[in-house]
Amino acid sequence: MDTGEPDKNRTAAATETEWWRGAVIYQIYPRSFLDSNGDGVGDLKGVLAGLDHVASLGVDAIWLSPFFTSPMDDFGYDVADYRSVDPVFGDLADFDAVIEKAHGLGVKVIIDQVYSHTSDRHAWFAESRQNRANPKADWYVWADPKPDGAPPNNWQSVFGGGAWEWDARRRQYYLHNFLTSQPDLNLHNREVQDALLDVARFWLDRGVDGFRLDALNFAMHDPRLRDNPPAPQGTRAPTRPFDYQQHIYNRSHPDIPAFLERIRDVANQYKDIFTVAEVVGDAPLAEMKAFTANGRRLSSAYDFTFLYADRLSHDLVRRAVEAWRGDAGEGWPSWAFSNHDAPRAVSRWADETKRDEAAKLHAMLLMALRGNAFLYQGEELGLPQGDVPFERLQDPEAIANWPATLGRDGARTPMPWKRAAPNAGFSTGDPWLPVDPRHAALSVDAQEKDAGSMLHFVRALIRLRGSSAALKTGEINFIDDAGGALAFYRRAGDDVALCVFNLGDVPVSWEPSDAKKLSRAISAGIEAGDRSLPKMLPPYAGYIALPGP
């Protein structure tokens, strides 16, 4: 009998065998990773060439951002064909080569799946918009205008303006939570779900090890099309119409978890598949818990708690991490400090003069948290947010909100491989986004030669995490009074790790009661010397200590 409750014995066994629990996953944004043919855009052959570098970090998997056929209005998140590779990135044979090499290096491959919307150039939408009686007429979200011709309700688009676009062929509006060229799929329609599950099977059959599900809580809408209520006034002035509403009805429908159970059923037909949800919103925790509940839905979920935070604080870390206590039936969290959708953390959380120290401290904290760690390309180099002048901006959100926000282009600038090469070794042609001159000095080849570099530090961190059951999958217990430091223990049985961080810009003093039993395994911002625990931590300094002399 299925009671809906998790099998505790099965859950315990799964913790021992699931490769993804506590994994370090490296995100590759293919457009900006490495260009193999000189057209200024990174591609799958570039991913193939860069895999040795990624594998050398010791990561468990890569996550590939979209490489599917697309008009690139939203740089691949507007999919025109779920089962093909856009020519700018290569072809399916190139993708298969990436899979083969990654697996040969012991690295799993996760790819994006965009199920909430497609491009308006997708064949499904081309058919759906023809009339109201075709086989795919109900595959997208269509609605009649109000009597005065106005849109059906007040929903707003993430990228600015209303979320409805008029289509003269059907004499109806279609919903687009993002760009007007990204019509929303109607996942209340079982046929649409079936089609998307077939897409998942296509890529699983090609050997992928899992999926990152984009904008998942936008996947279903309120069929009654009720107006969203206004958002309460906050301390920060909204920068777009979208921010003036509580998004109760255009996302987060209670039927989404049932669709996720169907995804899990497909994943269970394959071996060791990892699925992670991106959950957007101001209060994402309930959805993250629902999307990962009882081992019957997704493996994990992450939100924008750290990605959109202006500063890193003790309270922010504790609130985020303590929400995942490991209760029965609870899913497994994932954490990201930087990615392609958010300005790089080191530029949000530290002054430029403290950039190098902060980058190491942030990496150490990320690797110490309970959950999976997503490492964004260039984060292992300590890259700051790239400087992109207005005339070179590509991202529609960055252009629409300039100069009120840093935008996403600065996090998507090309990866620097060779300090002295044109475009830092990214491309022999004109890059689609400019290379920030500061990044060239932080290139892979320059850091390889420096034993004290961020690159070597991150490798050591990942090695340490992989060798410690406490750091990889252990429970987390925060220390309430650590003299102004952020401190916690990670424990897994007899294995223990003490993690201590000074996130501020003034020194802090604190010594744990068990200091004599612990030795520094790795530290940042502290003189190397012996392995004893320091009584004083300088600004942006920290350490991870393990039992031993």
Catalytic residue annotation: 214, 278
Q: Decide if 347 contacts 336 (C-beta within 8 A).
A: no
Q: Decide if 445 contacts 471 (C-beta within 8 A).
A: no
Q: Decide if 60 contacts 19 (C-beta within 8 A).
A: yes
Backbone angles phi, psi at 166, to 5 degrees: -75, 140
Rounded CA-CA distance 368/352 in Å is: 24
Rounded CA-CA distance 507/142 in Å is: 59
Give the H/E segment covering residue 537.
strand 536-537
Calculate the alpha carbon distances from 491 to 108, 333, 468, 497, 546 in Å: 27, 17, 10, 7, 11
Rounded CA-CA distance 469/518 in Å is: 16
Residue with token string 């959100």: 397
Rounded CA-CA distance 292/270 in Å is: 18
Rounded CA-CA distance 332/497 in Å is: 20
Residue with token string 């002054």: 351
Rounded CA-CA distance 369/335 in Å is: 8
For the record, the structure tokens of 197 come out as: 């599950």
For 313, residues 6+ apart whose C-beta sits below 8 A from its C-beta are 503
Rounded CA-CA distance 140/118 in Å is: 9
CA angle 364, 212, 4 (to 5 degrees): 100
4: helix, coil or strand?
A: coil
Q: Decide if 371 contacts 331 (C-beta within 8 A).
A: no
State the pairing for strand pair 332-336/300-302.
Answer: parallel
CB neighbour burial string for 472-494, b if at least 16 within 10 angstroms, e if fewer: bbbebeebeebebbbbbbbbbee
- Tell me the β-bridge partners of 518: 547
Rounded CA-CA distance 447/440 in Å is: 11
Backbone angles phi, psi at 101, to 5 degrees: -70, -45
Rounded CA-CA distance 65/110 in Å is: 9
Neighbours of 240 (CB within 10 A): 17
Cα torsion 16, 18, 19, 20: sign: negative
DSSP state of 406: -
